[in-house]
Amino acid sequence: MDYGELFKIENEAVMERFQLSMERIKGFSTDHTVKDPYNDYFVKVSDFIGLIGEFLQWYSEGGYDSASLEEAKEWNHKLYSDVLPENYETSYGNPAYAAKILGKEYGQLLSFLYKEIRGDIVFAHEWRLTDITILNETLIEIYNMFEEEAPLVSSVKEVLYWFVSDYSDYTVTNCIRERIDPAISFAADIIRDQDLTDLKYLYRFGEYISDSELQVAEFLNSLPEETVRLMADTYTEGYRKGFEVMGRDLSVKSSVQIRYQVGFERMVKYAMENFKALGLDIIISRNAVQSVNTSGGRKIGYHSSSPNLQFDYDHRYDSAIYMSKAFKDRITAVIRVAYEQYRKEAKAYAGPAVIETFGKDGFQPVNKPEVLSLDEKQHKLAAEVANEISQITYEYIPGSEISFTIIAFPIPAIGKDFEEIFRETIAINTLDYEKYKEIQQTIIDALDEAEYVEITGKGSNTTDLRVALHKLNDKEKETNFENCVADVNIPLGEVFTSPVLAGTTGKLAVGVVYIGGFQFKNLTMTFKDGMITDYSCDNFDNPEEGKELVKQVILKNHKSLPMGEFAIGTNTTAYAMAQKYGILDKLPILIVEKMGPHFAVGDTCYSWAEDSPMYNPNGKEVIARDNEISILRKEDLSKAYFSCHTDITIPYAELGRIDAVLADGSRIEIIDDGRFVLKGTEELNKVLE
């Protein structure tokens, strides 16, 4: 059954409701039953829904088949125009504007509703009429409440709460299915069936298409087939190797989820062929657009450039409308039922294969008093929801049975040297596996002699950290550090461990680092016995705003997090490229973590799979898979995990020393003044000279 047939019955069943709701909303502009200033909101939103109706008509008549590239581009711009930066200051998608016109409380609630309604753009492209209809009916219900006189704010909020809660059976279940069921093939069908040399195909996804997506697709089309195949082969072979090195059986799995940014379809098409040859069906699901299905800013699916990062930031805490104990219980129950319904698909799922991008300027958000925010109780509930969802997910998709891979490429925003940087990134992603394996084993052998590792910064970098290591009972068979070459994390180039928390103490600092779409300036964190006790950044004049940004993006709104990982990056080739083009502040953590020591806060590297043995290429078992918090899973799962793992790297230029300190106090120097000094690692310095 093709994608269109899959939802035909559902669309037919909802068609009458859909048509009635569209007709009712069309009348908002002539009813005159809602008083100003509220009438303006309903008229503007009805205009947008009317545009969706026009698009559906055009689309159903084969619009994309007959349209020129310019016509497809014009439709895309019209659909996203209202929230583009040049129009955002007078958009009801902007909570500050909505609050100015409607009052703060109404503004917050109705801006949330409009943000949800803007999901119609992708629902229309996927021909998901039920999603559009339930949004229409919610808008109509609230419109009716505003007729003649304004209702109580609490009444409007209650309608929105029940909209999210009642329809979660449909919205949340669909989202879970999309992520594990190859039958939901909307995007995969576009990639398989369309002529990728005609860039008009980009607009069929329904995502916002900026110049970046067009330029990336055009550039990939200009590369020789063997180059694009090499990109795809490196990516899919890394995925296969991940199962191999983890000792997991890929042959019992039958599906893989590809996550990527629109524009990379030529590479993805070859990757799809490779995965098919491995016996895997392809899942390409969209990054969620509904608030109830979003995940703390993470992109879980395919996506394009955001039409407006400030719009996304302004709506980051929209869950404040419905986050409650009742909602937590409701949503976790729905998720469990959904996974039970799609148990077979969950069992077949092998894990994600991710293509990341880098090159954007660091986003500098504006904090607005009008936006929704979670109170302390809601922050706690949100963390509990994330933890419980993780528990349910890993019950149906055990971490010990799946793997993943991640690779990254630049986008044109990186600057005039985009094409050269892209080609050098391809080279970095295909460095010599065997050479790095031997060099990294030399570093691991030295670290395995140590009781702890000492890391210090230089110049203005004030890092001074001691990282405690697990005791090895049999050094012939056990190791603390994993030898990470090109498999799950591409490019190669790191050795990493899960530290002992007791005794892991000190200060971590970095001048500039790019995390979760934000560029952090002078980020600092203080640890005591492995737990964060203080943190700051200089992104804002007001230190408290900087502290809040760190808490939101890095701590994921937890009061504290443990150090879940310590690693030493060895990819000096990547660092040399960054220095050559002056792009260190634009590289993703996936590459930056290979360019110096890095420290992850949150769960360990082995979360939810700590009991699965892990071996290095030399046959030694990596025994540092737990810490004092993750081991609590044996008593109480809710105390063991934080559902986050965020890396922070100190680049070589800010690095003073890394010493392995033995029990007798003697030291083995690993790095001095940002250069590798351990015998057997000197070759890593050649590209830095």
**Confidence check: pLDDT of 294 > 70:** yes
Structure tokens at 121: 């753009």
Which tens digit of pLDDT belongs to each residue from 317-360?
999 999 999 999 999 999 999 999 999 999 999 999 999 999 98
Alpha helices for 495-558 (secondary structure H): 543-553
**Is the CB of residue 118 less than 8 Å from the CB of residue 48?**
yes
Of all residues in the chain, the percent with pLDDT exceeding 70 is 99
Gap between the Cα atoms of 252 and 497, Å rounded: 29
Q: What values do phi and psi take at 448, rounded to 5?
A: -70, -10
Q: How confident is the model at residue 2 (pLDDT cuts 50, 70, 90)?
A: low
Quick one: pLDDT at residue 516?
Answer: 75
> Where is pLDDT greater, at 132 or 689?
132
When mean pLDDT is compared over 49-53, 428-432, 517-521, 607-611, the highest value belongs to 49-53
Query: Edge-to-edge, what's the strand order for the sheet holding 531-536?
Result: 531-536, 518-528, 500-515, 464-468, 452-457, 655-661, 667-672, 675-676
Which tens digit of pLDDT belongs to each residue from 218-247?
999 999 999 999 999 999 999 999 898 888
Q: Give the type of residue at 7.
A: F
**Is the CB of residue 123 less than 8 Å from the CB of residue 132?**
yes
Residue 319: left (phi > 0), alpha (psi -120 to 50), or beta? alpha
Burial 259-285 (b: 16+ CB within 10 A, else e): bbbbbbbbbbbbbbebbeebebbbbbb
Gap between the Cα atoms of 230 and 66, Å rounded: 34
Question: How does the average pLDDT of the chain come out, rounded?
Answer: 94
Q: Provide DSSP, 458-503.
A: -TT---EEEEE-PPPS-TTTEESSEEE-SSSBSS--EEEE--EEEE
As beta bridge partners, residue 518 has 363, 515
Q: What is the DSSP letter of 47?
A: H
Contacts of residue 171, defined as CB under 8 A and 6 or more positions apart, other chains included, come to: 131, 290, 292, 293
Q: What is the mean pLDDT of residues 654-677?
A: 96
Which tens digit of pLDDT belongs to each residue from 130-153?
999 999 999 999 999 999 889 999
Gap between the Cα atoms of 452 and 661, Å rounded: 5
- Distances in Å between the Cα of 181 and the Cα atoms of 61, 69, 178 are 29, 32, 6
In the chain, helix, strand, coil percent, each to 5? 50, 20, 30
**Is the CB of residue 652 less than 8 Å from the CB of residue 572?**
yes
Which tens digit of pLDDT belongs to each residue from 174-193?
999 999 999 999 999 999 99
Structure tokens at 402: 């799946």
> Where is pLDDT greater, at 613 or 100?
100
As beta bridge partners, residue 466 has 454, 505
Whether the pTM exceeds 0.85: the reply is: yes
**Confidence check: pLDDT of 166 > 90:** yes
Structure tokens at 320: 């404040």
As beta bridge partners, residue 302 has 286
Gap between the Cα atoms of 667 and 465, Å rounded: 15
> Where is pLDDT greater, at 609 or 438?
438
HSE value, Cβ hemisphere, 13 Å, CA-based, for 607? 26
Structure tokens at 526: 């203080």
Gap between the Cα atoms of 578 and 588, Å rounded: 11
Q: Give the type of residue at 208.
A: Y
**Is the CB of residue 571 less than 8 Å from the CB of residue 493?**
yes
Q: How confident is the model at residue 1 (pLDDT cuts 50, 70, 90)?
A: low
Which tens digit of pLDDT belongs to each residue from 456-499?
999 999 999 999 999 999 999 999 999 987 677 899 899 999 99
In three-state secondary structure terms, 525 is: strand
